[in-house]
Structure 1
Amino acid sequence: MKQVIIIGGGIIGLSSAYFLHKEGHQVTIVDQSNLDAGASYVNAGYLSPSHIIPLSAPGVMKKGLKWMFNSASPLYIKPRLDLDFLKWTWAFNKSCTMNHVQKAIPAIKEITLLSQDLYENIHRTEGFTSHYEKKGLLMLCQTDKMLEEEIKMAHLAQREGLDVIEVNTNELKVLEPHVKLEAKGATYFKCDSHSTPDEFMSDMKTYLKGVGVQIYPNEKVEDLEVKNGKVTTIKTNNQILKADEFVLAAGSWSSLLGKKLGLKLLLQAGKGYRINSNQNTGITIPAILAEAKVAVTPMHGFTRFAGTMEIAGINHDIRKERVQAIANAVSRYYPEISLTSEEKSQAACGLRPVSPDGLPFIGKSSKCDNLTVATGHAMMGWSMGPATGKLVSEIISNKKTSMNLDMFQPDRKF
């Protein structure tokens, strides 16, 4: 048995605690928040094997440059003279190749499928009551060009063994009979699932506390002490804690803490927004509005509309034009749904840690023998959470990992 401290209480941190406890370790979680907000609570709730293409794909940087001066665009990269940002941008641009995409696809598919299985297993084993359904995911398209792109993507996914079909407008009406849709067609990934994030996070916290995992909310890690290549203690704003092993799962803040250890984690905070609606929308199947890059999820008792990627540093400012862009997209694809001023005013955001190559950092760092890194999942943190937690527990328990981690090495070069 080892004493393990996890820095970060999002989906990655809680999942790591779950599997580490199952391995018999004594686990402590430290988080600077109250563990009730952030990316793990405002995401679209997708468990998406369908998302096999990394964020750094050919053409993405070109789009980012085109949209740079439009703060309402789906991908907004705010230009700024910051060395870390410039290094990340350079590395991101270098990663946007078809060669990288082809190498990344098998790794992304494997970790997302593993994670989906683990979500189901956790629900079944622990008797969780949080909302979880397997209804698939529609990629709704309004233009011929986008539909053609999505059909190509569907064929690629089919070759990877994923269950996906093309859907015409008549078939869409059968799938979604209670909502008016403005779309030329869609692809339908039957392999995807969805959940209500707040409920799962609540179940996990209750379970972990019940089995003796110590959770310290509202404690910011201010320093880490290293001796002979090992982290010995962490200092928070409230106390000093010791452990045998440490897990860095602090999301967008991971690179800041990593710097204290000489760890060069190239990460940028990718802000995403969500709007919840209690209207009876009639939507029953999760969808992505392909041109607008907006996610639609029928959750437990409400519908969530989420999206955008804003690379603008660590801040929680709500940009009204980005919220309005999501609302406008909803009305374009679902012409009978109009989000109210009150719903828009209650929009929230979360910061997703984005690596330059669109792949997470999972594994031991050469800088510290007893530090395991688990961050950089970008928009896929929810989809990859339990699998990442299992992999972290296997690494710390010196077990053979459930999958090859070469693509996710924290010390990889860009």
Structure 2
Amino acid sequence: MKHCIIIGGGIIGLCSAYYLHKEGHQVTIIDQSSATTGASYVNAGYLTPSHIIPLAAPGVMKKGIKWMFNPTSPLFIKPRMQKDFIQWAWAFNKSCTQKNVSKNVTAIKDINLFSSELYSDIKADEQFNFHLEKKGLLMLCQTEKVLEEETRMAAIAREEGLPVTSLSLEEIKNIEPEISIAALGALLYRCDGHTTPQTFMEEMRTYLTNVGVNFLLNEKVTDIITNKESISSVVTSRQSYKADEYVLAAGSWSHLLSKKLGLKILLEGGKGYSINSTRNLGINMPAILCEAKVAVTPMQGFTRFAGTMEIAGINHDINPIRVQTIANAANRYYPEIQLMPEETAKASCGLRPVSPDGMAYIGKSEKCSNLTIATGHAMMGWSMGPATGKLVSEIISGQKTSLDLSVYHPDRSF
């Protein structure tokens, strides 16, 4: 048995703690906040094997530059004269290639499918009650151009063995009979599922507390002490702690902590926003509003509208223009729906950790023998959470990992 300290109490940290505890390890989670807000709570709740294309894909950087001056664009990259950002942007641009996509499609599919199975296993094994449905995901398209793009993506998904069906507007109406939808057509990915993130996070945290996982909340890690090529202790705003193994799962803050170890983990925080409506809107199927890049999820007791990728440093400032853009998109695709000012006023945001190639960092760096890194999942942290936690546990327990981790290696070059 090892004592493991996990830095970060989001979805990746909790799932790592869950599987480490199952292997008999003693676990402590340290988080700089109360661990009740952020990306793990405000995301779209999707389990998305369908999302097989990494963020760094051909044409994305070109779009990012084009959208830089559009406050309502789905992707906003704020240029900054900071070394970390410049290095990340250079690596991101280099990664926006077909080669990067082709290399990673199967890996993204496999980890998402694995994670989706683990969500079901956790619910059954622990008799949890968190909301989990697997009835698919609609990709709603309003233009011929985007419908053609999504159809090409669907062809790649079919080659990977994923079930996907093309739908006409009439077929969309049969699936969503309670709400009017303005779309030219859609793709239906039957392999996908969705959850209500808060219900899972609260239930998992209660479980971990009951089985003896120690939570040190509102404690910021201020330093990491090393001895040769290993960590000897972490220092927080209150005191220092020693462990046998350490897990860096601090999301968008991970690269700041990795610097203390001399590691070069390129990472940017990608802000996303969400709006909740507790009204009965008549939406039964999760959907991506493709042209707007907005996610719509019917959750437990409310419907969530989420979107945008705003790369502008680490901050939690709410940009009302971007919030209203999400609300406008909802009305554009669902003409009967008008999100109320009191709903948009309560919009939340979270920072997703984005690596330059759109792939997570999972594994040990050769520069630090007792550190396992688990971050950089971009928009799929929720979908990949249980699988990442399982892989972290396998690494620390010295077991053969369930998946090939070479594409996730923290020391990979860009």
TM (norm. structure 2) is 1.00
Structure 2 residue 7 is the aligned partner of structure 1 residue 7: yes
Task: State the alpha-carbon separation in 2 of the partners of residues 229 and 145 from structure 1.
Answer: 52
Q: How does 1:71-82 map to 2 (within 5 A)?
A: 71-82=71-82
Task: State the alpha-carbon separation in 2 of the partners of residues 22 and 94 from structure 1.
Answer: 40
Task: State the alpha-carbon separation in 2 of the partners of residues 8 and 278 from structure 1.
Answer: 30
Deviation at 1:69, TM superposition (A): 1.0
Query: Which one-letter code corresponds to 2:7 in the other structure?
Result: I
Match of 1:253 in 2: 253
Query: Which one-letter code corresponds to 1:39 in the other structure?
Result: A
Task: State the alpha-carbon separation in 2 of the partners of residues 180 and 216 from structure 1.
Answer: 48
Deviation at 1:80, TM superposition (A): 1.4
Deviation at 1:238, TM superposition (A): 1.1
Q: How does 1:333-412 map to 2 (within 5 A)?
A: 333-412=333-412
Match of 1:105 in 2: 105
Query: Which one-letter code corresponds to 2:344 in the other structure?
Result: K
Helix, strand or coil at the partner of 2:177 = coil
Deviation at 1:71, TM superposition (A): 2.0
Helix, strand or coil at the partner of 1:154 = helix
Helix, strand or coil at the partner of 1:369 = coil
Query: Which one-letter code corresponds to 2:169 in the other structure?
Result: T
Query: Which one-letter code corresponds to 1:5 in the other structure?
Result: I
Deviation at 1:279, TM superposition (A): 1.4
Task: State the alpha-carbon separation in 1 of the partners of residues 227 and 187 from structure 2.
Answer: 54
Task: State the alpha-carbon separation in 1 of the partners of residues 330 and 142 from structure 2.
Answer: 12
Task: State the alpha-carbon separation in 2 of the partners of residues 71 and 64 from structure 1.
Answer: 12
Match of 1:16 in 2: 16
Q: Deviations over 1:59-93 (max 9, x none)?
A: 00010000001122100001111111111011001
Q: Deviations over 1:322-377 (max 9, x none)?
A: 00000000000000000000000000000000000000000001111000000000
Deviation at 1:240, TM superposition (A): 1.1
Task: State the alpha-carbon separation in 2 of the partners of residues 105 and 131 from structure 1.
Answer: 28
Q: Structure 1 regions of 5+ residues with no counterpart? A: none
Task: State the alpha-carbon separation in 1 of the partners of residues 19 and 295 from structure 2.
Answer: 30
Structure 2 residue 132 is the aligned partner of structure 1 residue 118: no
Task: State the alpha-carbon separation in 2 of the partners of residues 285 and 73 from structure 1.
Answer: 25
Q: Deviations over 1:134-183 (max 9, x none)?
A: 11000000001111111111111011000110000110010000000000
Match of 2:140 in 1: 140
Deviation at 1:100, TM superposition (A): 1.0
Q: How does 1:214-253 map to 2 (within 5 A)?
A: 214-253=214-253
Q: Deviations over 1:41-60 (max 9, x none)?
A: 00000000000000000000
Structure 2 residue 66 is the aligned partner of structure 1 residue 66: yes
Calculate percent identity across the aligned residue pairs.
Answer: 66
Task: State the alpha-carbon separation in 2 of the partners of residues 150 and 368 from structure 1.
Answer: 42
Deviation at 1:228, TM superposition (A): 2.0
Q: Deviations over 1:297-323 (max 9, x none)?
A: 000010000000000000000000000
Query: Which one-letter code corresponds to 2:48 in the other structure?
Result: S
Match of 2:291 in 1: 291
Helix, strand or coil at the partner of 2:369 = strand
Match of 2:29 in 1: 29
Task: State the alpha-carbon separation in 2 of the partners of residues 107 and 47 from structure 1.
Answer: 15
Query: Which one-letter code corresponds to 1:237 in the other structure?
Result: S
Query: Which one-letter code corresponds to 2:246 in the other structure?
Result: F
Helix, strand or coil at the partner of 2:292 = coil
Task: State the alpha-carbon separation in 1 of the partners of residues 9 and 392 from structure 2.
Answer: 14
Q: Deviations over 1:118-146 (max 9, x none)?
A: 00000000011011001100000000111
Match of 1:202 in 2: 202
Helix, strand or coil at the partner of 1:372 = strand
Deviation at 1:99, TM superposition (A): 1.0
Q: How does 1:169-188 map to 2 (within 5 A)?
A: 169-188=169-188
Q: How does 1:124-163 map to 2 (within 5 A)?
A: 124-163=124-163
Q: Deviations over 1:185-215 (max 9, x none)?
A: 0000000000000000001001100100001
Aligned residues: 414
Task: State the alpha-carbon separation in 2 of the partners of residues 87 and 240 from structure 1.
Answer: 32
Query: Which one-letter code corresponds to 2:208 in the other structure?
Result: L
Helix, strand or coil at the partner of 1:291 = coil
Task: State the alpha-carbon separation in 2 of the partners of residues 130 and 71 from structure 1.
Answer: 36
Task: State the alpha-carbon separation in 1 of the partners of residues 176 and 330 from structure 2.
Answer: 15
Query: Which one-letter code corresponds to 1:140 in the other structure?
Result: L
Task: State the alpha-carbon separation in 2 of the partners of residues 8 and 155 from structure 1.
Answer: 38
Helix, strand or coil at the partner of 2:12 = helix
Query: Which one-letter code corresponds to 1:44 in the other structure?
Result: A
Task: State the alpha-carbon separation in 1 of the partners of residues 299 and 239 from structure 2.
Answer: 39
Helix, strand or coil at the partner of 2:331 = helix
Query: Which one-letter code corresponds to 1:66 in the other structure?
Result: K
Q: Deviations over 1:233-271 (max 9, x none)?
A: 111101211100000000000000000000100000000
Task: State the alpha-carbon separation in 1 of the partners of residues 112 and 309 from structure 2.
Answer: 21
Helix, strand or coil at the partner of 1:394 = helix
